[in-house]
Structure 1
């Protein structure tokens, strides 16, 4: 059985997808971008700023189901420019703490966004807990 996860504090787009879905012991968060939730305008001009905002948007969606970023076990990130990977990694590390989630990062063209991130969270424990 699955349950839709939705937060009015997270960005909403007129597109056919759910912000998140809880399926059993996991929450799957759709790809988020670095936009202000109220205005849907891109936050900042750098991958660092957009990465932090993107992860904050994911955090908001998880909070709607009582979870935190510490519950995230897998991240898939789509980064627009290869040269942005070092800066993306630095910003990612300021938001996520060790032990880090497993991760795939792929270079793709995603329009005016510098990064898009999707996440999978495990409901019953946080990373690093036994």
Structure 2
């Protein structure tokens, strides 16, 4: 009896995996394509939109903005907002953020800017210190939004 239940559970899981593999998926390369970067800015799977990590680069120059954690955070979140809008979403649709800080001691400064864009109910969020972010960035954030 136990073996039959195990086989039924395995078959159900395999069926769920096949259904997920057939899910409606769209890739949105955005600016990454123009820069010949090997990733998409966003990928939609069903009702979820996964945004690639963003840093505080100017859309005009591609260089990090000057001034430290606050200006970088503001530009990074503006970049995220641009991608959200391009996918008919806004900050209220974001359900999860993952934050990487070059210096975890800048957590409070990051949070001050983050609160200018995200309001209650806040998305779920994880954060950790990271060494060696792209282009020497002080912060990077990736998000998941739901339609």
Q: TM-score, normalised by structure 1?
A: 0.86
Report the aligned-residue RMSD.
1.7
Q: 1:54 aligns with which of 73, 76, 96?
A: 76
Moved over 4 A (4+): none
Matched, 1:26 2:48: yes
Q: 1:2 is matched with which residue: 7, 12, 25? A: 25
* 1: CA distance, partners of 2:35 / 2:127: 24
Can you list the C-alpha shifts for 1:57-95, whole angstroms capped at 9, x where unaligned?
111111111111110000001000021111011111111
The structure where strand makes up a greater share of residues is 1
In structure 1, distance between residues paired with 2:33 and 2:91: 17
> Does structure 2 conserve the Cα–Cα contact (< 8 Å) formed by 1:82 and 1:107?
yes
8 Å Cα contact 2:97/2:141 also seen in 1: yes
Mapped pair 1:90 → 2:121:
no
Secondary structure of residue in 2 paired with 1:117: strand
Higher helix share: 2
Query: Is the alpha carbon distance of 1:27 and 1:59 closer, same or farther for their aligned partners in structure 2, counting shifts above 3 Å?
Result: same
Contact map agreement 1:4 1:18 (CA 8 A) in 2: yes
Q: Is the 8 A contact 2:97 2:142 kept in 1?
A: yes
Which residue in the other structure is 1:108 paired with? 130
In the alignment, structure 1 segments of 5+ residues that lack a partner are 124-130
3-state SS of paired residue (2:60): coil
Counterpart-to-counterpart distance in 2, 1:43 and 1:69: 22
Segments of structure 2 that go 5 or more residues without pairing to the other structure are 1-23
Query: Contact 1:78/1:108 (CA < 8 Å) preserved in 2?
Result: yes
Asked if the contact 1:32/1:118 (under 8 Å) is kept, the reply is: yes
Mapped to 2, the partners of 1:48 and 1:12 lie a distance apart of 27
- Correspondence for 1:73: 95
In the alignment of these two chains, the number of paired residues is: 122
